[in-house]
C-alpha cells in the first residue's frame, strides 16, 4: 500500500505541474485576442497568487481537519474546474474571475503534499516527485504550443489540460483510503524523524513562526526562488517574442525548454542526493541558475537564449525540493506543516509581486532587462539562504551550549 500511495503522489505532482506554465506559454496569443496590454498577464498571476497565499496559510488547519488525501483531491478538483472556466472564457474579466478558484485550489495541495513527502520519504523521492511536477509543467506549454501551431485557439489548449486534470482528480478521490494506511509504511526518512511527533504538528501563529531562528530568512529565500521561477515561466515566451523576434507559436515551444531543464535536473537530483545533502544541492542549483541567467546576456541570438532556459531550469531543479525536504530537519518535525505553509505563502507572494513587476519593466523600459532582473533576485536568494543556515546553526549551538 505504501508504494501504491507513492505512485498516487507521483500522479498528484504531475497534476500540480500541468497548469503552472500554461498562462506564460499562451499569453503572447491571448493578449492580442483579448485586446489587452501585454503586462495584464501579471494581474491574472496576482489573483492566482493571492488565492494560493490564503490557502497555503490555511493548509495546516485544513490538513489536520480533513487529512492530506482529501485536501489533495478537492484542491485538484477545484483547479480542474478553473481550467475549464478558462477554456470557455472570451473576456479578460472572466479569466480574472476563474483565477480565484485556480489559486485557492493550488495552495493547500502544494503545502499539504510537500509536508507529507518531507516527513515520510527520503530526499531522493522529493526530487523525483518534483520531477513529476516538471513533467506536468513541460507538457503544459508543449500541448499549448501544438494547439497554437495547428491553428487552434488557446482555449482548446486549456480545455485539454482541464480534461487531464479531471482524470487525475478521479484517481485521487479513489485513493483517499490509502493515505491513512500509508502512514503505517516505513521509509528511510522515518528512521530520522519520529512519525508520531511529526504527525502531532504544533499549530503555530504567524508571529510565533516569525520568531523561530532562520524563519524570516528561509521565507525570503523561498520568496526569491518562486519569483525567479515564475518570472521565467511567465515571461520567457514574451521575452523571445519581443526581444528576439520569434513567432509566438515558436516561442511557446521554446519556453518549454525551461521545464525540460527542471524535469531532467530533478530526475538527476534524485541520484545526486544519495551523495550530497540538501544544502549542497541548493548551492549547486544556485551556480547553474547563475550560468543560465548569464547566458541570456551573451549577444549570440536565440541559441544562447535557449541554452539559458535549459541551464536555468537545471539550476532551479534541486532548489525547491531541497528547501522543502530540509524543513523538518532545520525547524523540527513538529513545526514542519506550519513552516512549509508559510514558506509556500512567501513563495506565492513572490509569484504575486515579482513577475508583474517585470511586466511593468518590460512594458515601460525594455524586455531586454529580463536577465539582469533574474540575477538580482538570485543574489538575494543565495544571501538569505546562507543567513538561514547560520541562524539555525547558531540556535542549535545555543540550545546545546556548544563552543
Q: What is the pLDDT along the chain (403 residues), one digit of tens a residue?
A: 557 888 888 888 887 788 877 887 788 888 888 888 877 887 887 888 788 888 888 877 787 788 888 888 888 899 999 999 999 988 899 999 999 998 888 776 777 777 788 777 777 888 887 788 778 877 888 888 888 888 888 888 899 989 988 988 898 888 888 876 655 444 444 444 444 444 444 567 778 888 888 999 999 999 999 999 989 988 888 888 887 777 776 777 777 788 788 888 988 988 998 899 999 999 999 999 999 999 988 877 777 888 889 999 999 999 988 998 888 888 887 787 788 888 888 887 887 789 889 988 988 888 889 999 999 999 999 999 999 999 988 887 776 665 5
Rounded to whole angstroms, the Cα distance separating 338 from 391 reads 19
Considering the domain boundaries, does residue 402 fall inside one?
A: no
How many structural domains compose the chain? Answer: 1
Considering the domain boundaries, does residue 55 fall inside one?
A: yes
Considering the domain boundaries, does residue 193 fall inside one?
A: no
Considering the domain boundaries, does residue 403 fall inside one?
A: no
Considering the domain boundaries, does residue 138 fall inside one?
A: yes
CATH of residue 13 = 1.20.1250.20
Considering the domain boundaries, does residue 189 fall inside one?
A: no
Considering the domain boundaries, does residue 83 fall inside one?
A: yes
Considering the domain boundaries, does residue 197 fall inside one?
A: no
Domain that includes residue 352, residue range: 2-177+202-397
Amino acid at each position: 500500500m505504501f508504494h501504491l500511495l507513492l505512485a498516487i503522489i507521483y500522479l498528484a505532482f504531475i497534476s500540480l505541474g500541468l497548469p503552472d506554465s500554461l498562462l506564460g506559454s499562451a499569453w503572447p496569443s491571448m493578449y492580442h485576442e483579448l485586446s489587452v496590454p501585454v503586462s495584464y498577464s501579471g494581474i491574472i498571476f496576482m489573483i492566482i497568487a493571492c488565492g494560493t497565499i490564503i490557502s497555503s496559510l490555511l493548509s495546516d488547519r485544513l490538513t489536520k481537519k480533513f487529512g492530506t488525501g482529501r485536501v489533495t483531491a478537492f484542491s485538484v478538483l477545484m483547479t480542474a474546474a478553473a481550467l475549464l472556466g478558462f477554456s470557455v472564457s472570451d473576456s479578460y474579466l472572466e479569466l480574472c474571475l476563474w483565477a480565484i478558484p485556480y489559486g485557492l485550489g493550488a495552495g493547500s495541495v502544494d503545502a499539504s503534499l510537500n509536508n507529507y513527502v518531507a516527513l515520510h520519504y527520503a530526499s531522493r523521492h522529493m526530487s523525483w516527485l518534483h520531477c513529476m511536477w516538471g513533467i506536468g509543467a513541460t507538457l503544459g506549454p508543449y500541448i499549448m504550443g501544438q494547439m497554437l501551431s495547428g491553428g487552434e485557439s488557446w482555449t482548446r489548449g486549456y480545455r485539454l489540460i482541464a480534461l487531464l486534470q479531471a482524470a487525475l482528480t478521479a484517481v485521487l478521490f479513489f485513493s483517499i483510503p490509502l493515505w491513512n494506511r500509508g502512514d503505517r509504511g516505513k521509509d528511510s526518512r522515518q528512521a530520522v524523524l519520529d512519525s508520531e511527533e511529526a504527525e502531532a504538528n504544533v499549530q503555530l501563529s504567524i508571529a510565533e513562526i516569525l520568531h523561530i531562528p532562520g524563519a524570516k530568512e528561509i521565507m525570503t529565500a523561498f520568496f526569491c526562488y518562486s519569483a525567479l521561477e515564475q518570472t521565467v515561466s511567465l515571461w520567457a515566451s514574451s521575452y523571445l517574442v519581443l526581444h528576439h523576434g520569434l513567432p509566438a507559436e515558436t516561442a511557446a515551444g521554446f519556453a518549454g525548454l525551461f521545464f525540460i531543464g527542471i524535469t531532467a535536473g530533478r530526475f538527476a537530483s534524485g541520484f545526486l542526493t544519495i551523495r550530497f545533502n540538501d544544502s549542497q544541492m541548493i548551492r549547486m542549483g544556485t551556480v547553474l541558475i547563475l550560468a543560465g541567467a548569464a547566458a541570456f546576456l551573451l549577444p549570440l541570438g536565440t541559441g544562447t537564449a535557449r541554452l539559458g532556459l535549459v541551464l536555468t531550469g537545471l539550476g532551479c531543479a534541486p532548489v525547491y525540493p531541497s528547501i522543502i525536504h530540509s524543513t523538518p530537519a532545520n525547524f523540527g518535525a513538529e513545526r514542519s506543516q506550519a513552516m512549509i505553509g508559510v514558506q509556500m505563502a512567501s513563495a506565492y507572494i513572490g509569484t504575486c509581486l515579482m513577475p508583474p513587476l517585470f511586466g511593468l519593466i518590460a512594458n515601460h523600459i525594455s524586455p531586454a532587462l529580463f536577465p539582469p532582473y533574474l540575477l538580482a533576485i538570485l543574489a538575494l536568494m543565495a544571501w538569505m539562504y546562507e543567513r538561514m543556515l547560520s541562524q539555525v546553526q547558531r540556535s542549535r549551538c545555543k540550545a546545546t551550549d556548544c563552543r
